[in-house]
Amino acid sequence: MDEAIFFDTMRQGLWVALVISLPILAVALVTGLTIGLFQALTSIQEMTLTFVPKLAAILVVFWMSMGFMTQSIVSFFHDRIIPLIVGV
């Protein structure tokens, strides 16, 4: 395998990983900032107040974007990895 093919495949794989993880990370960031702002304004320092809503938001977004994530990974494997394995 040529080094250029290897690095190009690695670059595309990292890009797919970034695109797949972006919705979950964005929701975790927004939820964490919102809860942090709420805690700072009300002086409530409960540990479960940050954990439970963030976990719930992440689970909802994961469930909603599961089809997109699966389609992205499958298309990456079909378009890039399987032809490299077969040697086309």
Q: Where are the domains of the chain?
A: 19-86
User: So what's the pLDDT on residue 48?
Assistant: 80
Give the Cβ contact number of residue 76 at 10 Å. Answer: 19
| Cα(55)–Cα(47) distance, integer angstroms | 13
With a cut of 70, say whether residue 73 has pLDDT above it: yes
User: So what's the pLDDT on residue 1?
Assistant: 65
Which percentage of the chain shows pLDDT scores above 70? 98
Give yes or no for a contact between 31 and 54, defined as CB atoms under 8 angstroms apart: yes
